[in-house]
Amino acid sequence: MRALTALVGQAGSLRGIGNPALFLLLLAAQAHAAIDGFVLNGTTGKPQQGSTVTLYQTTQQGPQNLGSVKTDAAGKFVFTQDVQAGVGGGPLLLQAVYDGVQYNKTLAPGVPTLGVDIPVYQSIKSPGSAKIQQHFFVLEPSPDGNMQVTEGFVYQNDGRTTWNDPDRGTLQFELPAAAQGKVEVNVRAPGGLPIRRAPDALGKPNQFKLDFPIKPGESSVELTWAMPFQSPGVFEDHPLSKAEVIRVVAPTGVEFKGDDLSLLGQEPASKANIYAVKGPDIKIQVDGTGLFNTPDEQGGSNNGQSLSENLPKLYGLLTANSSFAQSVGAVKWILVTVLGMLALGFVLLYRKGDPVALSEPAETKASTNARSRG
């Protein structure tokens, strides 16, 4: 307090500061403002008044709510709690709610906590500029008579509105009857970490919808499901939500054939083949067995190569989304949120469908994503 009083005394002589008591209040407010910033409406280009902002501390037990505030007329929010990212848990998380949609901002250790901008957008029920840029499948038929399917969708929204349609969903999909309606769904908003999301019944057998707002930028959805399958056999899918391009991935030891298939190339590290599918429906003859990320009983590798072995290289090509890379690096102590999405990240490498790029060295063709497991 003595040092603060001396500082106020010195400041009272500064031009423009004629009231030491006022300066004291301002200085005290700044001293206790651990986190502040602005909520900006990306649709209107103006500050967003009245948006609710909540501060969370991430921990191994889950996010801990540290309180909520409302933005003022200038869109500003202030949290006075003395908290730091990485102290007592993982990154800090700011969550702004506007027009029925949550917008998250991750504060990793070392990231400034003052003057943080959180963009929000107006919601519309139509897709607007949003579209499904990629739809892809990783098919893993196993020797025990089952097939593990990792199905992914990559959305690109180049507009300034969020597509949010809780009634019809922003993704509709159908599972084969043999899957018995059992599916794990993980979603990732632009620059965010993966979140588990439960689908809803669409009204017809084996058809589902997903209530997931598609914000400006790139979002992704991953479905994981399984079905009985004997090789050789036929895999079929009838997409309800149409994508610009469709890709399928065959692990080493598995061969795909079909009139609408064209081989793009082979991934150098895992030797998996990448195919383009004409679509819109998918019908593939599958011959052989092969798995990713599963060692055999003798402790060696199976027919395929473990994708987790390439984890550092996969992270290396996240430069297109540096904020996400920082977020993952900040929570690397929760590895379970990383390993589950390697198959999705693997296929994302080929969303441009460039056969020439497929022949580049593995060191220059690595990427990943992350999927929450709880």
**What DSSP line would sit under 154-167, residue for residue?**
EEEE-SSEEE--TT
Residues 168 and 43 in one domain: no
Buried b (16+ CB within 10 A) or exposed e, 227-239: bebebeeebebeb
pLDDT value at position 20? 52
- The CATH number linked to 62 is 2.60.40.1120
pLDDT value at position 228? 96
- Where do we find the tokens 């930028």? 217
Which residue, of 87, 120, 153, is where some domain finishes? 120
Residues 114 and 161 in one domain: no
Which contacts qualify for 276-280: CB closer than 8 Å, 24 or more apart?
276/245, 276/246, 276/247, 276/353, 277/246, 277/247, 277/248, 278/246, 279/239, 279/242, 279/243, 279/246, 280/239, 280/242, 280/246
Q: Are 134 and 245 within 8 A, CB to CB?
A: yes
Which residue, of 101, 120, 139, is where some domain finishes? 120
Helices (H), 92-172: none
Residues 162 and 290 in one domain: yes
**What DSSP line would sit under 292-344, residue for residue?**
SS---TTSS--SS--GGGGHHHHHHTGGGGHHHHHHHHHTTT-THHHHTTHHH
Domain range enclosing 258 = 130-364
Contacts of 312 (CB under 8 A, 6+ apart): none
What total of structural domains would you count in the chain? 2
Residues 104 and 161 in one domain: no
Residue 109 belongs to a domain: yes
Residue 370 belongs to a domain: no
Instruction: State the Cα–Cα distance between residues 271 and 188, nearest whole angstrom.
Output: 28
Which residue, of 79, 102, 120, is where some domain finishes? 120
Contacts of 9 (CB under 8 A, 6+ apart): 20
Residues 54 and 83 in one domain: yes
Residues 214 and 350 in one domain: yes
Residue 50 belongs to a domain: yes
Residues 185 and 42 in one domain: no
* One-letter amino acid of 188: R
Residues 240 and 163 in one domain: yes
Instruction: State the Cα–Cα distance between residues 345 and 363, nearest whole angstrom.
Output: 15
Residues 92 and 136 in one domain: no
Residue 6 belongs to a domain: no
pLDDT value at position 88? 67
Residues 181 and 284 in one domain: yes
Structure tokens at 223: 């479905």
Residues 113 and 147 in one domain: no
pLDDT in tens, 5-42: 333 333 443 334 455 554 444 444 444 458 999 999 99
Residue 200 belongs to a domain: yes
Instruction: State the Cα–Cα distance between residues 112 and 108, nearest whole angstrom.
Output: 9
Q: Are 251 and 304 within 8 A, CB to CB?
A: yes
pLDDT value at position 364? 34
Contacts of 82 (CB under 8 A, 6+ apart): 32, 34
Residue 294 belongs to a domain: yes
Residues 291 and 196 in one domain: yes
Distance of CA 304 to the CA centre of its chain: 26
Pairing of strands 92-98, 184-188: unpaired
Residue 2 belongs to a domain: no
Q: Would you give per-residue pLDDT tens digits along the chain (374 residues)?
A: 333 333 333 344 333 445 555 444 444 444 445 899 999 999 999 999 999 999 998 888 888 899 999 999 999 999 998 887 777 668 888 999 999 999 999 888 888 899 999 999 999 999 999 999 999 999 999 999 999 999 999 999 999 999 999 999 999 999 999 999 999 999 999 987 788 999 999 999 999 999 999 999 999 999 999 999 999 999 999 999 999 999 999 999 999 999 999 999 988 888 889 999 998 999 999 999 999 865 443 344 344 343 333 333 322 222 223 333 333 333 332 222 333 333 344 334 444 344 333 333 333 333 333 333 33
With 0-12 / 13-18 / 19 or more C-beta atoms within 10 angstroms meaning exposed / middle / buried, residue 1 is exposed
Residue 25 belongs to a domain: no
pLDDT value at position 213? 97
pLDDT in tens, 250-279: 999 999 999 999 999 988 888 889 999 998
Pairing of strands 122-124, 161-163: parallel
